A and B are shown apart, each in its own frame.
Chain A
Amino acid sequence: MHAFKYHRPGSVKDAAALVGKNADAKLLGGGQTLVQTMKLRLASPTDVVDLGTIKELAGIKVAGGTVEVGAMTRHAAVAGSAEVKKAIPALAALAGMIGDRQVREMGTIGGSIANSDPAADYPAAVLGLGATIITDKRKIEADKFFTGMFETALQPGEIITAVSFPVPKRAAYMKFKNPASRFAIVGVFVAETGNGIRVAVTGAGPNAFRVPEMEKALGAKFAPESVAKVKVKADDLNSDLHASAEYRAHLVTVMAKRAVEAAMK
């Protein structure tokens, strides 16, 4: 790891000021990606701005048909929250599937979605539930947030403060894990929401994406067989040592089917 300056701001405003004036500064959430890349000397920020000491960023609020999760809320807190389990059990279950115990104790929802790792779990829930990403500057709809591999709609220096999830009628997340990293090779989040059916896929493409054909089929009939015949095209999907694009395309259908089954239980 190269040497860097470490900051612990007390407020979002102070944090924004620190990253605002320095293009080589990085925000530190739970450190599950940034610290690793720094240790590998692949990232060398001059300044690291730790959001961990900003109290207003952590916490879960359930009210008025939404679950609002503060950006610095650890995965373990979401997975273990009785309120989340009651309101959106699929969201709590998803958080409980991220990485391993150590990762879940450190990793944060804000850090996860800001990074937009193609294989991260949270983007599937954010997109699948049609969540709203709240930043220090504005509110961003989930459909406009994930713009590419490790790319989002966030402006330089913009800080996510919370993610607001509307409570769905029913939902489920099914994940086929990379056996080594435990990231999603394919993860499918299916939800029946007040605004219709949403099917979001993570792991398969450059960033999380929705599958309109599946949403349409499920809108007609919410049953596993509705998605069983819907195949996504392999052309734009990721391909690596662990899974070819064809295999990922196949798994999207299998996991979607299983997610619908689970949502119906």
Chain B
Amino acid sequence: MSASLIGARVQRKEDYRFLTGAGQYTDDVTLPNQSYAAFVRSPHAHATIKSIKIDKAKKAPGVIAVYTGEDVAQAKLGGLPCGWLITDVNGQPMKEPPHPVLAQGKVRYVGDQVAVVVAETQEQARDAAEQVEVSYDVLPAVVDAVQATKKGAPVLHDIAPDNTCYVWALGDKAAVDAAFAKAAHVTKLEFVNNRLIPNAIEPRSANGSYSRADDNYTLYVASQNPHVERLLMTAFVMGLPEHKVRVVAPDVGGGFGSKIYLYAEDVAVTWASRQVGRPVKWTADRSESFVSDAHGRDHHTIAEMAMDKDGKFIGMRVHTHANVGAYLSTFASCVPTILYATLLAGQYTTPLIYCQVTAVFTNTAPVDAYRGAGRPEATYVVERLVETAAREMKLDPAEIRRRNFIREFPYQTPVALQYDTGDYEATLAAAIKMADVAGFAKRKEEAAKGGKLRGLGYAAYIEACGIAPSAVAGSLGARAGLFEAGEIRVHPTGSVTVFTGSHSHGQGHETTFAQVVAERLGMPVENVDIVHGDTSKILFGMGTYGSRSIAVGGTAIVKALDKIIDKGKKIAAHLMEASEGDVEYDKGVFKVSGTDKQKAFGEVAFAAYVPHNYPHDKLEPGLNENAFYDPSNFTFPAGSYVCEVEIDPDTGQTKIVNFTAVDDFGKIINPMIVEGQVHGGLTQGIGQALTENCHYDPDTGQLVTGSFSDYCIPRADDVPSYQVDTRETPCTHNPLGVKGCGEAGAIGAPAAVINAITDALWSMGIKDIPMPATAQTVWKAIQSASKKAA
């Protein structure tokens, strides 16, 4: 066997399909007798519905049916469920207001779905949707989480009169307060972690169909986790048994979290398909995506770090208002709590941490997990505090980090997590070298000659990936398991089909997972196909989010491979007339130890399916195994980023002149795919820091940034050519030693960029700059600083 496939830059098997236009996305699926749906959405942020007249729409050309909230209520469709129960500081369950499939008498954000029209063509459905006459009584709206908790704020849900979903806390407040009382220095910051709109390249899409012949439903949907979608839809909303529903998530063009959730549209088309007796397809246009996809981030935070005289962190205190939007999306409740506060130790030995989170309903689209989900927000808190503390205490920002790094593992943080392994000094040292921090002073001087301001900022992030174990998550409120399933189906002539509950929507599983299997079975990657995204083919699955696929899904596959090899050994022992204990296996070859007897994996597979000479008394024929894997802990990727910026003080424009990322993802299967994930993550992180901002008008609740003309996702010319590298401390509790890499860039980049900008502006007395640091924002900060100085 040639060089190992683990660590090889194997070209992505899926790219030929995607690059030649042969991908099959949900909207590409058109079924016989297809019909099309269009949704009538609220133009108001907050209003009661006085009446809905559908007569005109029903008579419009091509219209098959029109449904409103009344119809779904009569059909007894449940509301969309939330998958995680948070228990508040008083031991009470969070407030879970109903989240109806179609509005029940009230709308709570611009884009809230009010009615659905089914017609012969998409254009006819849209034309008719304009004919649905909805009469509203407009109510005052509130879009800001802090404002929404104030007395007199408009109330969204009767069960939450103060708009508060929960007040939750982690840590020993009294002990933390005591640490602050004896601090030599306290650094305090107040900032907003800006709200983002995910904008996957493929808009959401769903195509539901019902078969009268066998009483089965099929839903094609752009989803990151079809099994969970099916579970939530059948058990909680439609009251159907799971075996009557098949959910298929075919090729999916990006998700970033926004396609994890069960959305109203998915339920509506599935339900409507039975009512009209035809398949019903809906695909969002971009404008619809902007208003109706779950958004990300949107925290308002006050954060403090207490230090002793040497800059050693002795306590941290954080209070966050998290905007959850108008309704609780599927995992909305755990993002600003379980995935946020638990990460506040960062890479440091801070012994005492207290975090309080107030989750708030507002008249905005639901907010849920978006690339990083809670961890970018936590990293921003930690790394902005650390960098600012260093500057205030006149310490080198790298040095203050070194003084506080965790160096002994396993390490129990004060915020529940136990890190298994890491080497933070190594990634920081490598990043400093790669970014040529030593030459920065000279570059700054050069830039100043041209009237430009240079700054350099760090971010040392940690993330918790592969959320687990199920038992612990369950005790914290998870309403689902967090394992993964995998199946290895060896065919008679030795090629292999792998079924995984993970879902690929850009990550490259079809290649990475094939490398893992091909390496173990000693065959070329071409002989291994990965199948995912179909509940009728795959045992079960929890899907892809939280950088969990290789760590959890990959391990399930390894467990199934173990079973294949075990069975193969038994068959090989029989074929070679040896005892099973003497059979050794290595990369596709079964050998009898101490002899030259051997059987290739393919021969063993063939014997399993053509069992003429076979131990029938001990074994069943066939070579097909499955496994479920529930991890014993999270994995903890970590890394150090260095960002260097140049600011034009005349315009406020920031240019990133250099960005260095050194990550520790544990073992790496395919470095090329990992680099791609890092590049994408960094670009999204830079987007949050510099360009992206979801803005609702504070008075009317209208989405101002509802198109790419106003919502700026970064383009190639907005970002530099990245310098990336990796260090490796293998994860200690999974067989591949892998940690996950999908979100790191988006987690670490925002703090690095803002730390660099504030470094450039520090001498002007500018301590903080809000995200996104657009040219206007930076210019205004410079203006008001120079006015103060004058």
A-side residues, CB < 8 A to B, are 1-3, 40-41, 176, 178-181, 183, 241-244, 247, 250-251, 254
Expressed in whole angstroms, the Cα–Cα distance for A208 and B126 within the complex equals 37
Apart from A1-B123, A241-B710, what are 15 other A-B pairs with CB-CB below 8 Å? Answer: A3-B123, A40-B287, A41-B126, A41-B130, A176-B775, A179-B691, A179-B718, A180-B691, A180-B712, A183-B709, A241-B695, A241-B705, A242-B774, A247-B776, A254-B650
With both beta carbons as reference points, the residue of chain A lying nearest to B710 in the complex is identified as A180
Interface membership of B16, Cβ < 8 A: no
With both beta carbons as reference points, the residue of chain A lying nearest to B650 in the complex is identified as A254
- Partner of A179 from the list B650, B774, B779 (CB cut-off 8 Å) is B774
Interface membership of B593, Cβ < 8 A: no
B718–A176 CB distance below 8 A: no
B residues less than 8 Å from A241 (CB atoms): 695, 704-705, 710
Given contacts A247-B779, A247-B780, contact A176 B651 (CB under 8 A): yes
B residues less than 8 Å from A176 (CB atoms): 651, 775
User: Shortest Cβ distance from A252 into chain B, in angstroms?
Assistant: 12
List, sorted by A's number, 17 A–B pairs whose CB atoms are closer than 8 Å. Answer: A2-B127, A41-B126, A176-B651, A176-B775, A179-B691, A179-B718, A179-B774, A180-B691, A180-B710, A180-B712, A183-B709, A241-B695, A241-B704, A242-B710, A243-B776, A247-B776, A247-B779
B779–A250 CB distance below 8 A: yes
A residues less than 8 Å from B776 (CB atoms): 242-244, 247
Interface membership of B18, Cβ < 8 A: no
- Of the candidates A178, A180, A251, the one having the most CB atoms from chain B within 10 angstroms of its own CB is A180
B residues less than 8 Å from A1 (CB atoms): 123
Interface membership of B440, Cβ < 8 A: no
With both beta carbons as reference points, the residue of chain B lying nearest to A254 in the complex is identified as B650
A residues less than 8 Å from B774 (CB atoms): 179, 242
Interface membership of B762, Cβ < 8 A: no
With both beta carbons as reference points, the residue of chain A lying nearest to B713 in the complex is identified as A180
A residues less than 8 Å from B695 (CB atoms): 241
A181–B709 CB distance below 8 A: yes
User: Shortest Cβ distance from B692 into chain A, in angstroms?
Assistant: 9
- Chain A facing B: main interface SS: loop
With both beta carbons as reference points, the residue of chain A lying nearest to B127 in the complex is identified as A2
A residues less than 8 Å from B123 (CB atoms): 1, 3
Interface size class of B (residues with CB under 8 A): 20 to 34
Expressed in whole angstroms, the Cα–Cα distance for A184 and B625 within the complex equals 61
Interface membership of B708, Cβ < 8 A: yes
Interface membership of B711, Cβ < 8 A: yes
Which chain B residues numbered 704 to 722 have a C-beta less than 8 Å away from chain A? 704-705, 708-712, 718
Given contacts A251-B651, A254-B650, contact A180 B779 (CB under 8 A): no
B residues less than 8 Å from A3 (CB atoms): 123
Expressed in whole angstroms, the Cα–Cα distance for A106 and B630 within the complex equals 54
A residues less than 8 Å from B704 (CB atoms): 241
With both beta carbons as reference points, the residue of chain B lying nearest to A119 in the complex is identified as B709
B residues less than 8 Å from A244 (CB atoms): 776
B residues less than 8 Å from A183 (CB atoms): 709
Expressed in whole angstroms, the Cα–Cα distance for A179 and B652 within the complex equals 13
A residues less than 8 Å from B691 (CB atoms): 179-180
Expressed in whole angstroms, the Cα–Cα distance for A117 and B693 within the complex equals 24
With both beta carbons as reference points, the residue of chain B lying nearest to A242 in the complex is identified as B776
Per CB-CB distance, the 3 closest pairs between chain A and chain B, nearest first, are A180-B712, A181-B709, A179-B712
Expressed in whole angstroms, the Cα–Cα distance for A247 and B777 within the complex equals 10
Given contacts A40-B287, A247-B779, A250-B779, contact A180 B709 (CB under 8 A): yes
Expressed in whole angstroms, the Cα–Cα distance for A67 and B705 within the complex equals 39
B residues less than 8 Å from A41 (CB atoms): 126, 130
Expressed in whole angstroms, the Cα–Cα distance for A265 and B183 within the complex equals 59
Expressed in whole angstroms, the Cα–Cα distance for A181 and B710 within the complex equals 7
A residues less than 8 Å from B650 (CB atoms): 254
With both beta carbons as reference points, the residue of chain A lying nearest to B652 in the complex is identified as A247
User: Shortest Cβ distance from B122 into chain A, in angstroms?
Assistant: 11
B residues less than 8 Å from A178 (CB atoms): 709
Expressed in whole angstroms, the Cα–Cα distance for A40 and B709 within the complex equals 13
Expressed in whole angstroms, the Cα–Cα distance for A179 and B777 within the complex equals 13
A residues less than 8 Å from B708 (CB atoms): 180-181
A residues less than 8 Å from B718 (CB atoms): 179
User: Shortest Cβ distance from B525 into chain A, in angstroms?
Assistant: 36
User: Shortest Cβ distance from A36 into chain B, in angstroms?
Assistant: 9
A180–B711 CB distance below 8 A: yes
B residues less than 8 Å from A2 (CB atoms): 127
A residues less than 8 Å from B287 (CB atoms): 40
Which chain B residues numbered 745 to 790 have a C-beta less than 8 Å away from chain A? 774-776, 779-780
A residues less than 8 Å from B127 (CB atoms): 2
Which chain B residues numbered 319 to 371 have a C-beta less than 8 Å away from chain A? none
Expressed in whole angstroms, the Cα–Cα distance for A247 and B778 within the complex equals 11
Expressed in whole angstroms, the Cα–Cα distance for A178 and B775 within the complex equals 10
User: Shortest Cβ distance from A206 into chain B, in angstroms?
Assistant: 18
Given contacts A179-B774, A242-B776, contact A254 B712 (CB under 8 A): no
Expressed in whole angstroms, the Cα–Cα distance for A241 and B287 within the complex equals 18
- Of the candidates A40, A179, A241, A243, the one having the most CB atoms from chain B within 10 angstroms of its own CB is A179
A residues less than 8 Å from B712 (CB atoms): 179-180
Expressed in whole angstroms, the Cα–Cα distance for A243 and B287 within the complex equals 23
User: Shortest Cβ distance from A121 into chain B, in angstroms?
Assistant: 15
User: Shortest Cβ distance from A127 into chain B, in angstroms?
Assistant: 23
Expressed in whole angstroms, the Cα–Cα distance for A247 and B779 within the complex equals 8
With both beta carbons as reference points, the residue of chain A lying nearest to B126 in the complex is identified as A41
With both beta carbons as reference points, the residue of chain A lying nearest to B709 in the complex is identified as A181
Expressed in whole angstroms, the Cα–Cα distance for A179 and B712 within the complex equals 6
A residues less than 8 Å from B711 (CB atoms): 180
Task: Give B125-138 as 1s and 0s: 1 = Cβ < 8 Å from A's Cβ atoms.
Answer: 01100100000000
Expressed in whole angstroms, the Cα–Cα distance for A31 and B777 within the complex equals 34
Which chain B residues numbered 659 to 711 have a C-beta less than 8 Å away from chain A? 691, 695, 704-705, 708-711
B residues less than 8 Å from A251 (CB atoms): 651
Expressed in whole angstroms, the Cα–Cα distance for A178 and B130 within the complex equals 32
Task: Give B120-163 as 1s and 0s: 1 = Cβ < 8 Å from A's Cβ atoms.
Answer: 00010011001000000000000000000000000000000000
Expressed in whole angstroms, the Cα–Cα distance for A242 and B775 within the complex equals 9
Expressed in whole angstroms, the Cα–Cα distance for A241 and B312 within the complex equals 41
User: Shortest Cβ distance from B39 into chain A, in angstroms?
Assistant: 14
With both beta carbons as reference points, the residue of chain B lying nearest to A2 in the complex is identified as B127
Expressed in whole angstroms, the Cα–Cα distance for A10 and B248 within the complex equals 50
With both beta carbons as reference points, the residue of chain A lying nearest to B693 in the complex is identified as A241
Expressed in whole angstroms, the Cα–Cα distance for A254 and B648 within the complex equals 11
Expressed in whole angstroms, the Cα–Cα distance for A178 and B691 within the complex equals 10
Expressed in whole angstroms, the Cα–Cα distance for A12 and B650 within the complex equals 47
User: Shortest Cβ distance from B213 into chain A, in angstroms?
Assistant: 37
Expressed in whole angstroms, the Cα–Cα distance for A49 and B691 within the complex equals 38
Expressed in whole angstroms, the Cα–Cα distance for A59 and B457 within the complex equals 51
User: Shortest Cβ distance from A99 into chain B, in angstroms?
Assistant: 11
Expressed in whole angstroms, the Cα–Cα distance for A183 and B123 within the complex equals 30
Expressed in whole angstroms, the Cα–Cα distance for A3 and B123 within the complex equals 9
Task: Give B276-301 as 1s and 0s: 1 = Cβ < 8 Å from A's Cβ atoms.
Answer: 00000000000100000000000000
With both beta carbons as reference points, the residue of chain B lying nearest to A258 in the complex is identified as B650
B residues less than 8 Å from A242 (CB atoms): 710, 774, 776
With both beta carbons as reference points, the residue of chain B lying nearest to A180 in the complex is identified as B712
Expressed in whole angstroms, the Cα–Cα distance for A1 and B695 within the complex equals 27
With both beta carbons as reference points, the residue of chain B lying nearest to A179 in the complex is identified as B712
Which chain B residues numbered 103 to 129 have a C-beta less than 8 Å away from chain A? 123, 126-127
Expressed in whole angstroms, the Cα–Cα distance for A257 and B775 within the complex equals 18
Expressed in whole angstroms, the Cα–Cα distance for A244 and B776 within the complex equals 8
Given contacts A2-B127, A40-B287, A241-B705, contact A254 B710 (CB under 8 A): no
Expressed in whole angstroms, the Cα–Cα distance for A251 and B718 within the complex equals 20
Expressed in whole angstroms, the Cα–Cα distance for A1 and B127 within the complex equals 8
With both beta carbons as reference points, the residue of chain A lying nearest to B653 in the complex is identified as A176
With both beta carbons as reference points, the residue of chain A lying nearest to B780 in the complex is identified as A247
Task: Give B152-191 as 1s and 0s: 1 = Cβ < 8 Å from A's Cβ atoms.
Answer: 0000000000000000000000000000000000000000
Expressed in whole angstroms, the Cα–Cα distance for A3 and B774 within the complex equals 40
Expressed in whole angstroms, the Cα–Cα distance for A40 and B635 within the complex equals 45
With both beta carbons as reference points, the residue of chain B lying nearest to A248 in the complex is identified as B776
- Of the candidates B695, B705, B779, the one having the most CB atoms from chain A within 10 angstroms of its own CB is B779
Expressed in whole angstroms, the Cα–Cα distance for A1 and B718 within the complex equals 33
